[in-house]
Structure 1
Amino acid sequence: MNVERELLVDDVVAALTSPPDGQQLGGCDLREQMERAAEEFDRRTAATFAEALVDSLCEDPGNTRRLEALLILGLAHPQIVKRYKISLASEGRRLAVLLENAGESDRARSLLELMLKHDPDSREVERDLSSLMRREGNIDELVERLMRNAEEQVQAGRPMEAVAWLQEILLHDSSRRDVARMIRDLRYGEATRREKATKRNRVAVLLVLLSAAVSGLVVREVQLDKAADALPVAAVDDLPAIRERMNGIDEMLDTHKAWIGMFPLLEERGALRERADALEAQVAQRQREDNRRQEERRTIAEAARLEGVKAVEGGNYEQALAHFRRALEFGSPTWDQRDRTFADIAALEDWLKENR
């Protein structure tokens, strides 16, 4: 990029991110910058700005200020940025990682919150914001946010979506027994009502069974008790076994509507479901952590590779070699730049041997 184009891009960044006249630097947050961009720049100006920013980011994708300016412009004029087939959600999440790595966690959080206002249904952005708040130690505020999300889903008639948010609360605060109860009530509301009706009729059922003199009823009770004893045993931390035992209990309760031994099974089923919820939350947390670590390593690998390319362009071949090796260290076996980075390292090593 020549000097004139560099100056043009810097002017664009300043126009989009600088505070209004009379306001101190840093006094204008991302939301205000986005609103100002929507008000002050028409479609033609926005299109010119977008072209300059996209061209510059193709050459320097790790430039946080230019990427931030593009996000502000994209949120203010989304129809302009769509022409370049740019995903604002993906680029916004990438910018948030870069800002956090640069020590600007507050700005990264403001960016993610602004993106959620424009796309409230983005679970990826919501998940990134939750992870950032957890890393910053804002657990109480995070739990309140997740609880609000769950309440909104309940009011919208989407109980299973609410369950997903409540499960995340348990990941951050496993002592919230009230949340576990809410999950159980939402997921098994209809079953709970049936159980309450069954308990109300318990005395009547007992009287009927006790007064029955027919031997067939006695035989049936014995057979059902044996069937209950033969249900699969489940260890407290074995989720598949817990599900198998729950299925066995549900099948017995659905098939046989009333017998004396059903009441302990009803109570056990509630306890098993509560334990299954906790184990499912642990599994989901481990998966999210694995995904987060993989994404962080990919970001580090990409950043190291970009630094290596810059070092090559500046003639610092030893430094470039170190950056490329770091990129390989953090890049996964399926990283799309892995083969190219191997080739760059081999070329640099050959050149250094020949020119020493």
Structure 2
Amino acid sequence: MQNFKNIPLQLSVLDLVPVLSGKTAADSFRNSLNLAQNAEKFGFNRYWMAEHHNMDGIASSATSVLIAHIAAGTSSIRVGSGGIMLPNHAPLIIAEQFGTLESLYPGRIDLGLGRAPGTDQLTAMALRRNLDGSGEDFAKSLMELRTYLSADNADSAVRAIPGEGLAIPIWLLGSSTYSAQLAGILGLPFAFASHFAPSLLFTALQVYRDSFRPSESLQQPYVMAGVNVIAANTDDEAEYLATSLYSTFLNVIKGTRKKLQPPVEDMSLIWNESERYAVMQMLNYTFIGSGKNVQNKLVEFADATGVDELMVTSHIFDHEARVRSYEMIAELCPQNVPANS
């Protein structure tokens, strides 16, 4: 078994900005800033937040605002969206928002884009006013957004100021092959949501690599995959902490809305066997255990997929335990840890 120190693999953080049972969104924002500051200290490459709406347990609906909050409280870690759901927004608005962010925090902002609504259909209607659209519309919106961010748009009647001419990295995110192929054709980096939609991971990676064409921004394919990781001092402790993650996905399956729940001793009192199976299918790429066991699992995943970067999410109720999980993960990949840390 090879060790992470021999793998040129980047580690990054996906923060779903969970709202804890008994707490408020303001508490979540404080926790996220603290986690980002620690992630920066631990040597993580980037810190992303995802656009979700109408969810009691996730406070990242105003994603661009939160990116500014995190970037203002850190100094070197890249901060961005994993992702902005482009069909919910006019491309010009996103170009202006991320142009503003890049102007405030130059060289640190990532723009990850998805095409799902990030919510239920009724809320999507409230966001968009209509649900007309298709994958082709996403590609058109993406082209429009890239035009606004291009220096070549300076003579256009409609311009993104700030935004125009700024080198803001654009990522395509997905859980299927559509965005994988589009990212490959356009020569953009691609991130796959294997932390909750694992079934098409290897197919999407192959499609992306096969369709990749070098671009001005990227000469070779660059892939990131999302994984759930819960690391603790012992396997038993990690499994106990993981019950909050299980409960979250159980609520997704059942269509119930709850804040992030504290861990429990016995999940069998909460779910039945069919529910357990459905949750575990969604969480196929979830690595839970002590440091050594998590290391082995992550190395196997990196070897099997050949990804360039892992986007790690640790959905843990106790904030200190969550920070410690990321610290343990960083320790598994020594080249990411700053020499003075």
Fold shared per TM-score above 0.5: no
> TM (normalized to structure 1)?
0.31
Which has more radius of gyration? 1
Q: Which has the higher helix share?
A: 1
> TM (normalized to structure 2)?
0.32
Q: Which has the higher strand share?
A: 2
Higher RCO, Cα 8 Å, sep 6+: 2
